[in-house]
Amino acid sequence: MNLRFGVEDFMSRKLSIVMPGIRSEHWSRVYDEISRSCSRHDFELIISSYKSLPAELLEKVNVKFVYDAGCPSRCLQHASTLAEGEYISIISDDCIVLQNSISDCIDQLERSDSPDHNIVALRYTEGQGYRANPSDFDHKYWNAKYHGHLRIQGIEDGWMICLMFLMKTANFRWLGGIDCSFEHFNMNLHDMTFRAQRAGSRVLTSNGFVTAHDWEPVRDISSSPIIQAYHLNDKPLFDSIYLRKETSQSRPIRIDYDNWKNTPEVWPRRNSVN
């Protein structure tokens, strides 16, 4: 046991996959695809939402559900508290999960120089109708400064990004998980990955692609609480930390894991909760 993380509870599964979401019509399909993708390891899927669990998932012994009507980041962090896996990962509820890809990533992490500390960035493609040019998402895409909006003083050369991750559950909790002052899980995943790298973790890009994601441009920002959260809260908060090197370096590596409890139980940006 690495003393960095303290004494941990017994982990009963290899992997806990956290899936915050609202697209309940996809959940059964995604579960089936995860089963084929994590074929060599046992897993649990933890869904957090204000929607109801589909009937076909109710009797799955490796599916957990936690009701939460808060912002997406709160849902992710809340769900992670139920994780009993040695490793933890997140997944989108509308993606296509590629066969054997998750098991391959577990094997890659376990063969790395420091499985307790390292993180695997799960490579994905993104495009309209799930169609994308894979070369647009090769390994260099996961270098932070490949992206123009991340070429700022507080982000170190060589830092990697990791929007879809796989890591030791103990490491995730030691870091405090994600900062739910950010409403969506996007800029706070950058923040968590940067904090981890400051603590000595290495980010490894997965050998192959793990998921494929649909993408559609949002033309009416007023109709999208996710886009509103990015422009009105998450990006300004991120910039307040990382635009300048001195504020980036003074950012605590470890944050309060229970910080999700400080956010509203019902996300105000969501017009209605059904």
Which of these CATH numbers, 3.90.550.10, 3.30.1280.10, 3.30.930.10, 3.40.50.300, describes 13-253? Answer: 3.90.550.10
pLDDT at position 79 is 98
Could you state, in order of their start, the residue ranges of all structural domains in the chain? 13-253
State the pTM of this model.
0.92
* pLDDT confidence of residue 34: 98
Q: 152-161: per-residue pLDDT in tens?
A: 999 999 999 9
**CA–CA gap between residue 78 and residue 267 (Å, rounded):** 14
> Which phi and psi angles does 139 have, rounded to 5°?
-60, -30
Distance CA 245, CA 74 (A): 28
Which residues contact residue 274 at a Cβ distance below 8 angstroms, ignoring those fewer than 6 apart?
Answer: 50, 51
Q: Tell whether the model's pLDDT for residue 3 goes beyond 80.
A: no
31-84, pLDDT tens digit by residue? 999 999 999 999 999 999 999 999 999 999 999 999 999 999 999 999 999 999
The helices-and-strands tally (H runs, E runs) of the chain is 9, 8
Q: What value does the mean pLDDT of the chain take?
A: 92
Cβ–Cβ < 8 Å for 89, 15 = yes
What number is the average pLDDT over the span 94-116?
97
DSSP letter (8 states) at residue 56: H
Query: What would the DSSP string read from start to end of 198-212?
Result: HTT--EEEEEEEEEE
